Amino acid sequence: MNRASRTSGVGGLHEVVEPGVTGFPHLPDDLAGMAASGGRRLTGPDLHRSVAAAGRRVVVNRLCADRVVPMYEQFYRALGPVPNTV
């Protein structure tokens, strides 16, 4: 199921959530902004569907384990063998 996100703009979320495209990021204390974007989603089903679908595409294409785990494995292999410290 696709769901549009409304997030706080902390941590790495700003790298994933593009305002109005893949979600609705807000600063943690922006309650009015969060309420407004929630209202836009509730009164605009087409907006909700398009944002939810775009967000899902980002997750599937950039953040799924099948994609991320091999990148970590490649990174750690590039570091070389772990020295024996025992």
8 Å CB contact between 28 and 10: yes
In the chain, the amino acid numbered 48 is H
pLDDT tens digit sequence for 20-57? 898 888 888 889 998 998 888 888 889 988 988 998 89
What is the value of pTM for the model shown?
Answer: 0.65
Looking at residue 69, what is its pLDDT? 94
Cross-strand bridge partners of residue 19: 23
Task: Provide the H-helix boundaries in the chain.
Answer: 31-43, 45-58, 65-79
pLDDT at residue 11 greater than cutoff 80 = no
